[in-house]
Structure 1
Amino acid sequence: MSSSMADKLKSKLPQKGEKAPKGPEAKQVRLKLVYVDFMSALKLSFLLGLAQFIVVVIGTFLIYLVFVQTGIFETANSVAGEVLGSGSGFDLNSVASIGKTVGAAAAVGLVNLIVITVLGAICAVLYNAAAKITGGLSVGFTNQQ
Structure 2
Amino acid sequence: MATPEPITGQERRDKPAPLKAPRKAHLVLRRVEPWSAMKFSFVVSLVCFVVLFVAVAVLYGVLSALGVFDSIVNTVTQLTVADGKTNSGIDIKSWFEPVRILGYTALLGAVNVVLITALSTLGSVIYNVASDLVGGVEVTFSEAE
Q: TM-score, normalised by structure 1?
A: 0.81
| Corresponding residue of 1:138 | 138
| Corresponding residue of 1:56 | 52
> Structure 1 residue runs of 4+, over 6 Å off?
none
SS at 2:32's partner residue? coil
| Corresponding residue of 2:124 | 124
Residues 12 and 60 of structure 1: CA distance in aligned 2, closer, same or farther (over 3 Å): closer
| Corresponding residue of 2:85 | 87
Unmatched tracts of structure 2, length 5 or more: none
Distance 1:34 1:13 in 2: 48
Residues 62 and 92 of structure 1: CA distance in aligned 2, closer, same or farther (over 3 Å): farther
Distance 2:69 2:79 in 1: 15
Distance 2:63 2:13 in 1: 72
Per-residue deviation, 1:94: 2.0
Q: Residue deviations 1:56-81, cap 9 Å, x none?
A: 21111111111110110111012102
Opposite residue 30 of structure 2, the aligned amino acid is V
Aligned residues: 137
Per-residue deviation, 1:33: 0.5
Per-residue deviation, 1:91: 5.0
Per-residue deviation, 1:26: 3.1
SS at 1:2's partner residue? coil
For the Cα contact (< 8 Å) 1:80–1:90, is it kept in 2? no
Q: TM-score, normalised by structure 2?
A: 0.81
SS at 1:138's partner residue? strand
For the Cα contact (< 8 Å) 1:81–1:90, is it kept in 2? no
Q: Residue deviations 1:49-107, cap 9 Å, x none?
A: 10121122111111111111011011101210221115228654322211111111000
SS at 2:85's partner residue? coil
Question: 1:1-145 maps to which residues of 2 (within 5 A)?
Answer: 1-3=3-5, 6=7, 14=15, 20-21=17-18, 25-85=21-81, 87-88=85-86, 92-142=92-142
For the Cα contact (< 8 Å) 1:77–1:90, is it kept in 2? no
